[in-house]
Amino acid sequence: MRRLVLGGVLLCGAAGAATPYRVQTGDTLLGIALRAGMSVSAIRAVNPALRASSTVQLGRVIQIPDRSAPATTHTVTAGQNLTVIARKYGLTLTQLVRANPKYANGRPVPAGARLSIPARQVPVYLTTGRGTVAAAPARPAARSTRVVTTPAATRSSAPRSSADWLWPVTGYTTVSSGFGGRTLEGEGEQHYGIDIVAPVGTPVRAARAGRVLESRPDYQRGWGWTVVIEHPDGWITRYAHLSANLTKQGEWVVRGQPIGRVGDTGRSTGPHLHFGTYLRWNPRDPMTLYR
């Protein structure tokens, strides 16, 4: 999918193997190419308007081609699990398991095991001296309807929030896709979270207090705009497919604080919140935390 980098910030757009970048003060075509680790000709190849020019206009959006990463192997070290390794290589957990089917269904991966890492397209993220600043995502591009087959969707009374866990979308309790196996577009996969149906723009609140690990668009792995929070006792929560992020990486958020808004970005089947919970990056069913 295509991402828009705005001074180190990415916005969503149509599908494509390139990352749009908005030219900043002081940028030159050669300087951008050097920062991206590629040739000027590679950038010109995906930007027809630049083929006869050696200058770039301030504020103009140009395309930075994604980098092809070859297939490789990874030797598991102590303390690593599949989720951590998938993040390291820009893969979803499902993609990594498909390449290593012997570790499907939650089978643990021992230290010393060698995993196959499939070839993949890696986006090139350019930043500025100002770092990354949150920005409102662009309007999602139209896409074909996707069919998801899961165990029957559930509608419950509002889950009881405990002293530890707050339901992230107040007033909306329909779960359209639960934790575990499902079929998406004819392919079986593991769904490491739950999908809570709610209108676009509905506030999403932090289930617990913690430090924001990520607040960015992640189209490479299908999350769209996403927020990831690390909590003090080893728990981690992910909030994905957002229409807006309301927090920044490194920020401390309190339980119940608005951190984003429900959306339909990334690999999404309609407006909803993907809510994932992990204990030291091992996926756990969120619904078990609200009983």
CA 50 to CA 245: how far, in whole Å? Answer: 33
Burial category of 144 from C-beta neighbours within 10 Å (exposed 0-12, middle 13-18, buried 19 and up): exposed
Instruction: Give the pair of three-digit tokens for residue 1.
Output: 């999918």
Cα(133)–Cα(137) distance, rounded to whole angstroms? 12
Half-sphere exposure of 197 (CA within 13 A, CB side): 11
Q: What residues form DSSP beta bridges with 154?
A: 175
Given 191, 241, 272, 274, which residue is catalytic?
Answer: 272
First to last CA, the chain: 37
Q: Which of 182, 186, 165 shows the shortest CA–CA distance to 275?
A: 165
DSSP string, 24-60: -TT--HHHHHHHHTS-HHHHHHT-GGGTT-S---TT-
Q: Are the beta carbons of 265 and 226 closer than 8 angstroms?
A: no
Whether 74 is a known active-site residue: answer no
| Residues catalogued as catalytic | 272
